[in-house]
C-alpha cells in the first residue's frame, strides 16, 4: 500500500514540477531546448497515475517505485557531474541543480518507501498478518 501512496504523491509532484516549467518555457519560447525532459516527466506522471490509482494489483506501483528509486537517485547523483544527457542531439536533456535536487528527492523518497514497505512485509509475514 505504501508504494501506491508513493505513486499518487509522485504523480502530483511530477504534474506540478512539469506544468509550471512548461508554461514558463512556452511563454519564453525556450521549450525547444528542453522538450524531451518535459515529455519524460509527463510520461512518468502518467505511469504514476496508473500505478497509484488505476492498476488492479500493487505490482505496477512497486515496479514504478523501484524504477524511480534507482533511476532518479542515479540521475540526481550523476547530474552534479555532467551538464545533461544527449546535449548535442534534438532530444537534449539539460540537468540544472534544481533538476538534480528534484531527481534526488523523488529517488531517495522512493528508496525510503521501498525499505519501509519491505520491513512491513517482513513483519506481516512473521506475525501471520497479510502484508
As a whole number, mean pLDDT of residues 34-56 equals 94
Overall average pLDDT of the 5-26 stretch: 93
Q: Are 17 and 72 in contact (CB under 8 A)?
A: no
What local confidence, expressed as pLDDT, does residue 126 receive?
Answer: 83
CA dihedral for 40, 117, 12, 46, sign (positive or negative)? positive
- pLDDT at residue 28, rounded to an integer: 87
Domain housing 68: 2-127
Question: What is the rounded distance in angstroms from the CA atom of residue 63 to the CA atom of residue 45?
Answer: 14
Q: How far apart are CA 61 and CA 117, in angstroms?
A: 12
Given this model, what pLDDT does residue 61 score?
98
Region 28-50: what's the mean pLDDT? Answer: 90
Predicted local confidence at residue 25, as pLDDT: 84
Q: Identify the band that residue 82 occupies on the pLDDT scale cut at 50, 70 and 90.
A: very high
Rounded average pLDDT over 58-67: 98
Count structural domains, the chain: 1
pLDDT of residue 131: 56
Amino acid at each position: 500500500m505504501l508504494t501506491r501512496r508513493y505513486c499518487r504523491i509522485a504523480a502530483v509532484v511530477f504534474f506540478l514540477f512539469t506544468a509550471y516549467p512548461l508554461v514558463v518555457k512556452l511563454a519564453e519560447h525556450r521549450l525547444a531546448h528542453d522538450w524531451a525532459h518535459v515529455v519524460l516527466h509527463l510520461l512518468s506522471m502518467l505511469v504514476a497515475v496508473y500505478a497509484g490509482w488505476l492498476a488492479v494489483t500493487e505490482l505496477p506501483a512497486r515496479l514504478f517505485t523501484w524504477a524511480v528509486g534507482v533511476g532518479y537517485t542515479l540521475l540526481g547523483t550523476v547530474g552534479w557531474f555532467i551538464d545533461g544527457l544527449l546535449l548535442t542531439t534534438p532530444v537534449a536533456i539539460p540537468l540544472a541543480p534544481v533538476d538534480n535536487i528534484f531527481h534526488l528527492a523523488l529517488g531517495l523518497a522512493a528508496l525510503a518507501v521501498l525499505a519501509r514497505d519491505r520491513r512491513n512485509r517482513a513483519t506481516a509475514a512473521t506475525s501471520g498478518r497479510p502484508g
